[in-house]
Amino acid sequence: MAEQGLTVGQLLLAEYQTVKDEQRARIGFRDNLLYVTLAVVAAVIAAAAQAKQPSMLLALPPVCVVLGWTYLVNDEKISAIGRYVRDDLGPRLAALAAHGSGFTTFGWEAYHRTDTRRRSRKTIQTVIDLTAFCAVPLAALVVFWVNGDSGGLMVTMSALEALAVAGLGSQVVRYARAA
């Protein structure tokens, strides 16, 4: 009776499927975070305008920072999965399949990165990310500072929020440069 075990190649393909499934799930989650951010921004602005309470705008920076950081972390993990498939998993599988004869696997993982418009798309995406997660909450803070009639605690809180938003902005730019 022949023993039926898994081969290394089968295990690597199973790992590939698993990491690609995780990547797909993270892409969907990440992309939905932009829609959630837009909905939250619209709701907070509408509520602040209706109540004529600029202090309500102070809800935007922490929400945008949390959503923006979650977006950024998921985006980084999506890229890390791609790097892992290109630089580690693919070459190990290729070595098994072709015994080191230069055979490449998962060509799309590298091919799509050679598009001549990729750099401009990445730049535009960075501007969109900075706008959604940083410029909008900073604008809310400016509106609060100009129209707010609050005490020192609220102003101090808003300054801390501005620092958090600026910190997120620096991370967005840093991660975009690394990609």
CA distance 137 to 166: 10
Q: Which residue has the higher pLDDT, 94 or 24?
A: 24
∠ Cα 177 38 149 (to 5°): 100
Say whether pLDDT at 31 is over 60: yes
Would you give the DSSP letter of residue 7? -
| Confidence at 64, pLDDT banded by 50, 70, 90 | very high
CA distance 68 to 114: 27
Region 40-59: mean pLDDT is 95
pTM: 0.87
pLDDT value for 172: 97
